[in-house]
């Protein structure tokens, strides 16, 4: 082991990072040190092939409730809603009054257990920043889900590396800034290093459904579970059709060299290939970050490769203090959870309805989800109303509404028949406002204006 690798290991051990995560990070650092940029060239890939369609599966797959006792649902719950002005875990945001993301996730699990009698396992991968909030909320609001301490995977930390030397950066003014989250792919070394992977396998749990906690469309689907189990694939990625709104996001492709599926993120795309990357007719599918993993196969592959998954690395160039461009230039190394698709022989993908991808990335997403364009059922499912045929309303806000607190005074119009709503300037919707088609509400006065209780359809409303 090199001197740099020893210093990385020592720093991570002192932080309390588990050995499996240290091994994964050391491999990532060595890839960068060898000159690898993780680029995927267009000439090396072809459009994704052999992608199953969910609608075809529903008529072919019979569900066996016994599979639920062999399944664990894992939610990635480490993110804070800082971009929305929150200082707490994002999953505490409310979709309906008194109903947070965590309530919905818990209801889904409890409902499955009650309906089938199957002991569906549930784990939350928290970060140090989200752990306390999550545990406290579950103890008070959903005690029947179990002891939160027994449901937790704790995310690791990754050191930032000096760009020139690839050594761990030192920042005495604020040592916390020497560290960064490792990315969603940390779920694999965390399952292994925490002992959960061995515990689950020993208890007969073979299948894991993993998704982001802010994707309220990601529920355990019996059809997909049956398809995954009966197909005996080691890894299954849920994808959905790309639209113009998705062209900058990662897409699925087939590697020409060995025929394996892979995930290409924009950070891995050479500049000269950006046109092909954004061609949604050529590369039709993007990753929803809903994945299914055969835990036995995961254990086998990690053991074969010395305890790690051989994932591609995304190298992000930043400064150690993101608010100070003159601070030390560093790299943050990140690995995508979905990129594991290329690590498994026989990995597969299935094209699912858009309704299984409903992430809350900002206030526009939250505003839409809180409206009557979505139904929230007692069993925790959040779905677009049938009349929308899977097409969510498009919401555009001016900068006044970047933070979640701004939604409290905005009001909630009906969006059941809205195609697009744009709001600029300080406004408030009266109760009873109905939006249909495309509507622009604009207020250039700088003072708060009220949108009267009426129906607005394909028009501009100037206040």
Mean pLDDT of 59-73: 83
Tell me the pLDDT band of 60, cut-offs 50, 70 and 90. low
More confident residue, 285 or 79: 285
Tell me the pLDDT band of 59, cut-offs 50, 70 and 90. low
Distances in whole angstroms, Cα of residue 200 to Cα of each of 112, 205, 237, 274, 404: 19, 5, 21, 42, 38
> Would you say residue 243 has pLDDT above 90?
no
Cα separation, 419 vs 417, whole angstroms: 7
pLDDT in tens, 119-175: 889 999 999 889 999 999 999 999 999 899 999 999 999 999 999 999 999 999 999
CA-angle at 373, arms to 367 and 376, nearest 5°: 90
> Would you say residue 441 has pLDDT above 80?
yes
Q: What's the burial of 291, exposed, middle or buried (CB within 10 Å: 0-12/13-18/19+)?
A: buried
Cα separation, 358 vs 318, whole angstroms: 29
Tell me the pLDDT band of 2, cut-offs 50, 70 and 90. confident
Tell me the pLDDT band of 61, cut-offs 50, 70 and 90. low
pLDDT in tens, 399-436: 999 999 999 889 999 999 999 999 999 999 999 999 99
Spatial contact of 118 and 126, defined as CB atoms under 8 Å apart? no
Cα separation, 148 vs 87, whole angstroms: 21
> Would you say residue 67 has pLDDT above 80?
yes
More confident residue, 257 or 59: 257
Q: What is the pLDDT of residue 18?
A: 94
Nearby residues of 136 by Cβ (< 8 Å), 6 or more positions away? none
Question: Could you tell me the sign of the dihedral formed by the alpha carbons of 355, 361, 364, 370, in that order?
Answer: positive
The DSSP bridge partners found for residue 254 are 46, 261
> Would you say residue 75 has pLDDT above 80?
yes
More confident residue, 37 or 378: 378
Mean pLDDT of 97-117: 90
Helix, coil or strand: residue 105:
helix
pLDDT in tens, 175-198: 999 999 888 999 999 999 999 999
Helix, coil or strand: residue 107:
helix
R_g over Cα of the chain: 23
- Residue 148's CB is within 10 A of a number of other CB atoms, namely 20
Q: What is the pLDDT of residue 387?
A: 84
Domains within the chain, CATH numbers bracketed: 3-356 (3.90.550.10), 363-462 (2.160.10.10)
The DSSP bridge partners found for residue 383 are 375
Q: Write out the two tokens for 228.
A: 């995954």
Mean pLDDT of 225-251: 89
Please state the separation of Cα 6 from the chain's center in Å: 32
Q: Helices (H) and strands (E) in the chain — how many of each? A: 11, 26
Q: What is the mean pLDDT of the chain?
A: 91
Q: Which residue has the tokens 């505003």?
A: 367
Tell me the pLDDT band of 231, cut-offs 50, 70 and 90. confident
> Would you say residue 354 has pLDDT above 90?
no
> Would you say residue 57 has pLDDT above 90?
no
- pLDDT above 70 coverage of the chain, percent: 99
Q: What is the pLDDT of residue 86?
A: 79
Cα separation, 103 vs 380, whole angstroms: 7
Tell me the pLDDT band of 113, cut-offs 50, 70 and 90. confident
The predicted model scores a pTM of: 0.92
Spatial contact of 209 and 73, defined as CB atoms under 8 Å apart? yes
Q: List the single range of 47-51, 58-62, 342-346 with lowest mean pLDDT.
A: 58-62
The 3-state secondary structure of 168-216, one letter per residue:
ECCCCCCHHHHEECCCHHHHHHHHHHCCHHHHHHHCCCCEEEEEECCEC
Cα separation, 91 vs 40, whole angstroms: 34
Cα separation, 49 vs 282, whole angstroms: 11
Contacts 24+ apart (CB under 8 A), 35-43: 36/313, 37/315, 38/267, 38/268, 38/312, 38/313, 38/314, 38/315, 39/268, 39/269, 39/270, 40/253, 40/262, 40/264, 40/268, 40/269, 40/312, 41/270, 41/273, 42/273, 42/276, 42/277
Q: What is the pLDDT of residue 294?
A: 97
Cα separation, 45 vs 259, whole angstroms: 9
> Would you say residue 390 has pLDDT above 80?
no
pLDDT in tens, 19-33: 999 999 999 999 999
pLDDT in tens, 325-339: 999 999 999 999 999
């Amino acid at each position: 082991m090199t001197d740099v690798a020893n210093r990385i290991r020592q720093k991570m051990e002192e932080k309390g990072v588990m050995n499996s995560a240290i091994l994964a990070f050391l491999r990532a650092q060595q890839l960068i040190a060898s000159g690898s940029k993780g680029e995927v060239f267009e000439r090396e890939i072809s459009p994704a092939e052999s992608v199953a369609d969910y609608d075809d599966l529903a008529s072919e797959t019979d569900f066996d409730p016994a599979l639920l006792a062999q399944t664990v649902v894992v939610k990635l719950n480490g993110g804070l809603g800082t971009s929305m002005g929150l200082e707490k875990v994002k999953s505490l945001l409310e979709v309906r009054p008194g109903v947070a993301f965590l309530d919905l996730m818990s209801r889904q699990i409890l409902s499955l257990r009650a309906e089938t009698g199957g002991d569906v396992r549930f784990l939350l991968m928290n970060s140090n920043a989200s752990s306390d909030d999550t545990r406290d909320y579950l103890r008070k609001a959903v005690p029947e889900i179990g002891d939160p301490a027994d449901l937790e995977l704790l995310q690791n930390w990754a050191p930032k590396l000096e760009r020139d030397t690839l050594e761990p950066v030192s920042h005495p003014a604020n040592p916390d800034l020497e560290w960064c989250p490792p990315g969603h792919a940390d779920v694999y070394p965390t399952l292994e290093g925490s002992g959960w992977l061995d515990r689950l396998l020993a208890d007969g749990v073979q299948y894991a459904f993993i998704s982001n906690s802010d994707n309220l469309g990601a529920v355990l689907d019996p059809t997909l579970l049956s398809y995954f189990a009966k197909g005996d694939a080691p890894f299954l990625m849920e994808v959905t059709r790309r639209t113009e709104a998705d062209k900058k996001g990662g897409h699925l492709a087939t590697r020409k060299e060995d025929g394996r599926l892979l995930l290409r993120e924009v950070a891995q795309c050479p500049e000269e290939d950006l046109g092909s990357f954004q061609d949604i007719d050529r590369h039709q599918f993007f990753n929803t970050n809903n994945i299914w993993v055969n835990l036995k196969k995961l254990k086998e592959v990690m053991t074969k490769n010395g305890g790690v998954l051989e994932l591609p690395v995304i190298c992000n160039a930043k400064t150690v203090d993101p608010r100070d461009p003159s601070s030390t230039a560093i790299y943050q190394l990140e690995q995508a959870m979905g990129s594991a698709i290329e690590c498994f022989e026989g990995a597969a993908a299935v094209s699912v309805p858009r309704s299984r991808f409903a992430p809350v990335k900002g206030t526009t997403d939250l505003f839409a989800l809180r409206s009557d364009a979505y139904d929230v059922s007692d069993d925790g499912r959040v779905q677009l109303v049938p009349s929308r045929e899977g097409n969510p309303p498009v919401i555009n806000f001016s900068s006044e509404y970047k933070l979640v607190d701004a939604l409290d005074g905005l009001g909630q119009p009906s969006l059941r028949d809205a195609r697009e709503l744009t709001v600029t300037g300080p406004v408030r919707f009266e109760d009873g406002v109905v939006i249909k088609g495309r509507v622009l509400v604009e207020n250039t006065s700088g003072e708060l204006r009220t949108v009267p209780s009426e129906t607005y359809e394909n028009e501009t409303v100037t206040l």
